[in-house]
């Protein structure tokens, strides 16, 4: 059956022409042919030039998400298997695959789909209607590709419970895809063992994107007093502990997260040196300052303070506040580890915000490292949304 044809307005499609994968509703001049939302369509420029195949959804501002740019590469079962295979081969070449993100949406040319692997369990997240319809086939292909490397998937859990699905006209969904299984999965990363709760944990259960960043703090934590803010299930705190920190305090407002962090500390036999506190970090930091507490290393790994351009100003205030407060707690010559996981807090704005915080705290910063997300969350240069994590290590020097 011939696909319906989407024709762009003259002068539109700039994102698509520069290598991006989205067509916005206001860029479309006309749609000819019969289609249902979620169907594959052809995209043509105003002059009839073929630009790609993608799936359409008129409920969304992102009206078409591109899957293929070549006319000969129609969206067949074989084509989708090739996409999945390429994603897995890339991970095998770039990361430890015992636990990793296998598919990262647009950056793996499968827009709207995320698949994380935790040991022998897969967690899928589907954020677009078209990819949701292709999801069963893609997951079957992924199981086949993994089996070729001797990896048997014990089970798949879906965490498509993000509110953004409603913008696609879809309901949120959370549950097993196939037979039920124990949703608490043990993994190991950087020598640290974790229990990942793929059912109740945040997002898909664990933040794999900080894998290499967590390893990068090992060298600055040995023998040190460490404060880990927004610790969630304790990942940075436990890396500090494994690295030989003298003492670690991890804080998070989530009681469930703290209980999981304490379980992870026991799992790694670190409960004597790595302690956790359920507290609001915005309240805790001023309290520690008032008590005269000082730390050799302060780690700030907050959740995204903004998920839209409209709330960036308030996010800047939040990032400035925690960085200023955190800097005041760092011993002279100690280290600040700070990051932002919001795409809308762009690198320049985040750097400027940290600089303002340092000025307010009367501290001077010497940059040790700048990093982004781990390679299993690749940054596709034509897809700005794939670049979101900014991570710094600074040495903190008092003004003298």
Q: Which residues are catalytic?
A: 341
Neighbours of 71 (CB within 10 A): 11
**Residue 310 DSSP code:** G
**Residue 2 DSSP code:** P
Of 339, 250, 350, nearest to 303 by C-alpha is 339
H helical segments located in the chain: 14-17, 77-94, 129-147, 211-216, 218-221, 235-242, 255-267, 281-290, 312-328, 347-361
- Paired tokens of 152: 């048997």
**What CA–CA distance (Å, rounded) separates 304 from 344?**
9
Beta strands in the chain (DSSP E): 4-8, 22-24, 28-32, 40-44, 50-56, 62-68, 99-104, 113-118, 121-126, 155-160, 173-176, 184-189, 192-197, 225-229, 247-252, 274-278, 295-300, 330-340, 363-371, 390-398
**What CA–CA distance (Å, rounded) separates 125 from 156?**
11
User: Which value, in Å, is the radius of gyration of the alpha carbons in the chain?
Assistant: 23
């Amino acid at each position: 059956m011939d696909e319906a044809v989407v024709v762009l307005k003259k002068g539109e499609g700039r994102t698509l022409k520069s290598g991006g994968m989205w067509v916005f509703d206001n860029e479309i001049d006309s749609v000819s042919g019969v289609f249902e939302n979620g169907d594959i369509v052809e995209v043509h420029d105003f002059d009839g030039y073929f630009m790609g195949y993608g799936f359409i959804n008129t409920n969304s501002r992102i009206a078409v998400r591109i899957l293929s740019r070549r006319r000969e590469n129609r969206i067949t079962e074989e084509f989708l298997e090739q996409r999945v295979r390429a994603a897995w081969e890339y991970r095998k070449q770039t990361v430890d695959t015992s636990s990793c993100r296998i598919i990262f949406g647009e950056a793996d040319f499968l827009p709207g789909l995320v698949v994380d692997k935790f040991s022998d369990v897969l967690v899928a997240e589907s954020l677009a209607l078209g990819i949701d319809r292709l999801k069963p086939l893609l997951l079957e292909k992924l199981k086949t590709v993994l089996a070729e490397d001797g990896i048997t998937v014990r089970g798949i859990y879906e965490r498509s419970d993000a509110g953004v699905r409603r913008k696609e006209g879809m309901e949120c969904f959370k549950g097993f895809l196939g037979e039920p299984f124990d949703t608490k999965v043990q993994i190991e990363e950087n020598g640290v063992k974790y229990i990942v709760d793929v059912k109740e944990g945040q997002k898909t259960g664990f933040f794999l994107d900080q894998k290499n960043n967590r390893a990068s703090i090992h060298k600055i934590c040995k023998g040190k007093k460490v404060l880990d803010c927004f610790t969630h299930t304790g990942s940075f705190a436990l890396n500090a502990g494994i690295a030989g920190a003298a003492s670690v305090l991890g804080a998070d407002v989530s009681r469930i997260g703290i209980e999981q962090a304490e379980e992870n500390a026991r799992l790694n036999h670190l409960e004597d040196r790595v302690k956790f506190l359920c507290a609001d970090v915005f309240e805790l930091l001023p309290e520690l300052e008032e008590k005269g507490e000082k730390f050799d290393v302060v780690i700030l790994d907050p959740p995204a303070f903004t998920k839209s351009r409209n709330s960036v100003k308030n996010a800047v205030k939040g990032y400035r506040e925690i960085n200023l407060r955190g800097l005041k707690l760092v011993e002279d010559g100690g280290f600040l580890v700070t990051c932002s996981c919001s795409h809308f807090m762009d690198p320049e704005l985040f750097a400027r915000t940290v600089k303002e915080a340092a000025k307010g705290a009367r501290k001077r910063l010497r940059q040790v490292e700048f990093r982004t997300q781990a390679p299993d969350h690749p940054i596709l240069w034509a897809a700005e949304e794939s670049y979101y994590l900014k991570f710094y290590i600074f040495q903190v020097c008092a003004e003298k």
